[in-house]
Homo-oligomer: A and B are copies of this chain.
Amino acid sequence: GSPLALIAGPCVMEDEELTLAIARQLLEVKRELGIGVVFKASFDKANRTSVTSFRGPGMEKGLAILDTVRRQTGLPILSDVHDVAQVEAAARVLDILQIPAFLCRQTDLLLAAGNSGKVVNIKKGQFLAPWDMANAVAKVVSTGNERILLTERGTTFGYNNLVVDMRALAIMRETGCPVVFDATHAVQLPGGSGTSSGGQRQFVAALSRAAVAMGIDGLFWEVHPQPEKALCDGANSLPLAQIKAILREILAIDAIVKGRVSP
């Protein structure tokens, strides 16, 4: 397998300055550790728990910020689309179009994303068996686009809780698509705080190590300079200052699992 890549960034763009600051820190991580880094940020959180939650700058303004990030850092950019109507504009700026987990069975959205020609990252629905992602892949492949990533972000486990079934990482790899583990959403407690989702940041590093030890292609982390002040998903975001140390350990595990160092 090829070395692990990192998809990282804030949950939602709060403003241009902060977004750029985070991207520059990720660029430094990329250079120092020599790994692939994709910048991710959402322009619109279309499915927040509560109607009063912060949703982001909207598509137009958000894409403009992401375009600036790409030009200033050279990092490839990932963001999510929720609607067929967003795909065309998004594809002009983004390198990777992401299908949110709740929408992973929406045929038209998958087809539109596939037709854009961009890489498509499909998050596995919390309600879906890992082998059933083959149907989502087939929808995108039917457009002639085979550049597909599959991302695990936890499975419904009783109420207000998710569980990561690590077998899913291996099962989804049988599609031939690279598999990503979204460790920060996997530790969400959906709806667990009444009008917002809670989170268990304390498990992000360990679950990331575990997923990498299974053998995966990428990690997906929401990061923030001060998660406790984040306008979205702060409870499960990683503090930017910690990620280099966590990644060093993870990359050492990745090298063992992929046979680049002999154990």
Contacts and interface: CB of A to CB of B under 8 A. Distances in A.
A142 B50 CA distance: 11
Contact of A82 (B106, B161, B200, B214): B106
A106 to B, nearest CB: 5
Interface stretch (A17-25, A65-73, A201-209, A235-243): A201-209
A209 B257 contact: yes
A222 B256 CA distance: 24
A132 B102 contact: no
A261 B83 CA distance: 48
A125 interface: yes
A15 interface: no
Contact of A84 (B83, B108, B138): B83
Contact of A156 (B135, B155, B249): B155
B55 A107 contact: yes
A29 interface: no
A156 B51 CA distance: 25
Contact of A107 (B51, B156, B202, B252): B51
- Taken together, the copies of this chain in the complex come to 4
A209 B203 CA distance: 17
Contacts of A131: 191
A167 B202 CA distance: 10
B251 A142 contact: no
Contact of A85 (B48, B51, B85): B85
A166 B167 contact: no
A206 B170 contact: yes
Contacts of A165: 157, 163-164
A247 to B, nearest CB: 9
Contacts of A132: 49, 160, 190-191
18 contacts: A49-B132, A50-B138, A51-B111, A51-B135, A127-B156, A131-B191, A132-B190, A155-B163, A157-B158, A157-B159, A159-B161, A164-B166, A167-B207, A210-B214, A212-B213, A249-B263, A253-B253, A253-B256
Closest 4 CB pairs of A and B: A158-B158, A129-B159, A252-B263, A213-B213
